[in-house]
Chain A
Amino acid sequence: MKKKLTTVVGVCILPFLVFTIFYFIADGFGVHTIPIIISQSMIPTALGLAMACIMPAGLMDFSPGARMILGAIVGGLMGNAIGIVGLILGAFLGAMIGGVAIALLYRYLRIPSMVVSLGVVLVMEALSDRIGILFGRGSTVQIPANLASFANYPKNVLFVLTACLIFYYVTYKTKLGCLIQATGNDEFMLKSMGVNVDNVKFKAFMLSGIFCFFGAMMQICYSGTVQALTNMGTMTMVFKPMMGVLIAMQLVKVFDNMPLMIFIGQIVIQTVFNGFIAMGWTDNIQNIVLGVFLLVVMGVSENTGRMAEVRRRRMVRKETKVQV
């Protein structure tokens, strides 16, 4: 019990630890950096949440980025047309279209989620670009500053907060949350218990749409401009949040609060990045560190079981040696 507590504290203290490290080694990296770090880790967190609906169910999804952009574009256009209501409505619409699309495709094409998501990325990117060109000026959508201020820092913190709360509510306070976990754990057994697994997955995808909506809101408001990316450009947006989620999925084993873990994960990543910037390093080092970090975390988590087995064996052998 006590051990658990310490680990929990350790996890929560991690960002501060990283922060202090950079505080000392990188000049110009100080308290004033904190808001930046927070505001920069907002969009990735939202994307992370979107993926965290799906990945625990044992599925893979590359499309949140594309869906988010679609939401941002539609939102921006409608925002320009009919103001704040349009912004929210549009973003929601766009994001949900994506969610529904992938959910339906996955359910009725019956092909691996990863493949579906690849196709969806292709389509969604092109779609958002088309929409931008049809209803707006080119693939770029701008919204006036007064609209943009709606979900801008520090307001976007509230957005993420609500998103996290929703996520927490769904995962820990509804039947769906439990079932999503169970699905990822053992789909067969769940089926045999008479749970409609397809339905669970379907809902999971839909749910991820909601978080794409939050992401979309912040994306468009963050800089007042959003540009439709094509050529799988949105996939690169997804990778870093995905890493955050992967890491979080390991952390929850210690401290069972997915949204918090995702948030912490993102904060850490962003802190490191800003630290590097403050030290005048360019982003190539960042990527390398990121990759190594991912490998280490996954490597450890994947091998704990084997390590335990080996340790047990060694124990047994030692004991018998003592006896002999």
Chain B
Amino acid sequence: MSFLKKSNINFRTIFPFLGLIIIVTLFAILTKGKLFSLVSLRSIMNDGIYVLLGTIGFTFLFAMGCMDFSIGYNMGVSCAVACVVANTFHIYAAIPAAILTGLCIGIVNGIVVTKTRIMPMIATMGMMFILQGGVLIILNGSVLQAPLSMTGMYTNPLKIFLIIIFIIGGYVLFEMTVFGRVAKAIGACPEAVRQTGINADKYKVIAYVIMGAIAGLLGFISLARTGSATNSTGVTLMFNVMNAALLGGVPMTGGPTTKFRGAVLGALTISFLSSGMTILRMSAQNQQLVKGIIFLAAIGICFDRKNMKVIK
């Protein structure tokens, strides 16, 4: 019995790896290696960077059993603000502008969640509505264009640098620092953390701030990539990120089973999956169908029901 449980747990941990390998190899074969042509890898990188960075940020929230619905529009707003700044002051001013905007929104989220005790999901949903309106006001309705030189800033080395930095930094922060440990602890048992004299609220706010800052950065990335800010920027981010995290086996309830690699694996899986399907010329709807089924199956298999009393 105990052996069975053990093996079961192991399987759960390796499942994301298997999933990624299977999907990658499968599509590598189906697309006759096209999946790994430099162009396609680049396109995977360009689309995947949003999901990857987003998921990395989201993992900290998940670890604490929190969520953030507003990241998508947070990204939109940051992008818009950055664009305005770039046009009025200087293109380099856009970077801090974007990140700061996201960061501030993160702070507000964190404070609302911790102080008012509203369910994180609902609180951030409210925030989402507010930002949705906000982005339109900032853009004054129409699309904004940044100076041309903007697109020059966003070079491949920069992207790779960002990705590496975030993976390494994220790993260190999550697995090797007090913050990461406490985050997991909060997910595992808030009361115990409280009775150990740790100020959980502080850590929650930090997590939201990180998430916000990342969303802001993504806003800037989008601006630098496309040179324009629209009201539809980042709308789909939230769901992609959530799918990625869950696919990677990151439990929503948080706790010690939250693993950083889950986030990365999930993001990679999603990106490879979607680009593979595009190369195979699947229509958007079929792609979504496949994604949905894989999503359900994967979570059904690797969801950790061990320490859940009631499954809501």
A interface, CB within 8 angstroms of B: 58-60, 105, 109-116, 118-123, 125-127, 129-130, 133, 139, 187-188, 230-232, 235, 239, 242-243, 246, 282-288, 290-292, 294-295, 298-299, 302-303, 306
Contact = CB atoms under 8 A, between A and B. Distances in A.
B303 A123 contact: no
A246 B121 CA distance: 12
A235 B243 CA distance: 14
Contacts, number: 141
Contacts of B246: 115, 118
Contacts of B128: 239, 291
A139 B284 CA distance: 12
Nearest to B286: A126
B130 A287 contact: yes
Given A109-B300, A110-B305, A119-B296, A295 B118 contact: yes
A235 B296 contact: no
B63 interface: no
A303 B116 CA distance: 7
A92 B141 CA distance: 40
B122 interface: yes
A246 B129 contact: no
A287 B312 contact: no
Interface residues of B, number: 46
A239 B129 contact: yes
A60 B236 CA distance: 20
A298 B116 CA distance: 9
A288 B135 CA distance: 10
A282 B118 contact: no
Contacts of A284: 132-137
A42 B126 CA distance: 23
Contact of B122 (A235, A292, A298): A298
Nearest to B112: A295
Given A60-B312, A110-B311, A295-B112, A287 B129 contact: yes
Given A110-B303, A295-B123, A105 B311 contact: no
6 contacts: A122-B292, A126-B285, A129-B285, A230-B288, A231-B236, A284-B132
